[in-house]
Structure 1
């Protein structure tokens, strides 16, 4: 399995009343996987914050495929599916798998980068574009420059 950026066990705090992974825990797992991916590629959230930049999400879509339960081990993959070079807007797809290889969920997010001080959208510094170019891309990846 390629592009795995988070592996871990599901803990009690992530379980809902129906005894499976609660809806917001999926988002938490994916956020951690994205953070790990960026860090692995040389763009940690600390480095981004030093430039007064932070990620902001506009949309998060979750497709449930199979249940995940307490103590299950999971792996989360991340690939970029869209990037706009003109305004640094992005889309990522995450797939969450149980340790037996069963795909349990697909989470897609759309977002951009925000200047934390101005509270306005911004572009990443030009020297970071090479890092963005190295991010894992999905087979459906497309780049926009509008």
Structure 2
């Protein structure tokens, strides 16, 4: 059930909204941290991004709420790549946010690519990153595009 967990943490007071549950933008924050942790563990650190003047950007983020998450709950976030285009390095990730009892609370899907942070244009990744990208945990429905 809970595989490829790259973030575990407690819901903080500052992440709660007026309805006394996790605010919508905190879901995206947790997923971004999980992706960052995963890439860092595989060797793509912030320093590596800066050295190559490349950073990840998102085009789309879709969030499906399944269960409420409350203050002080402990959560876990999984990350899997669902789609990757080998020609232009575009990608899609699926995240599952689990409540402390193991119940799925949300599913977040993002689509993105890599951007040259100096030119502010999309770019392909360096050859030495390709090996790292292939180490990202793949979903059961993973699709690789070669065009």
Bin the TM-score by the shorter chain: over 0.9
Aligned pairs for 1:83-122 (under 5 A) are 83-122=84-123
| Structure 2: stretches of 5+ with no match in the other structure | none
Aligned to 2:41: 40
> What is the aligned-residue RMSD (CA, Å)?
0.6
Aligned length: 146
Task: Quote the Cα distance in structure 2 between the aligned partners of 1:42 and 1:86.
Answer: 21
Q: Deviations over 1:18-63 (max 9, x none)?
A: 0000000000000000000000111112211210001110000000
Moved over 4 A (4+): none
TM-score using structure 2 length? 0.98
Task: Quote the Cα distance in structure 1 between the aligned partners of 2:82 and 2:69.
Answer: 25
| Structure 1: stretches of 5+ with no match in the other structure | none
2:120 equivalent to 1:80: no
Aligned to 2:69: 68
TM-score using structure 1 length? 0.99
With 42-51 and 119-128 compared, the bigger mean Cα shift is at 42-51
Aligned to 1:141: 142
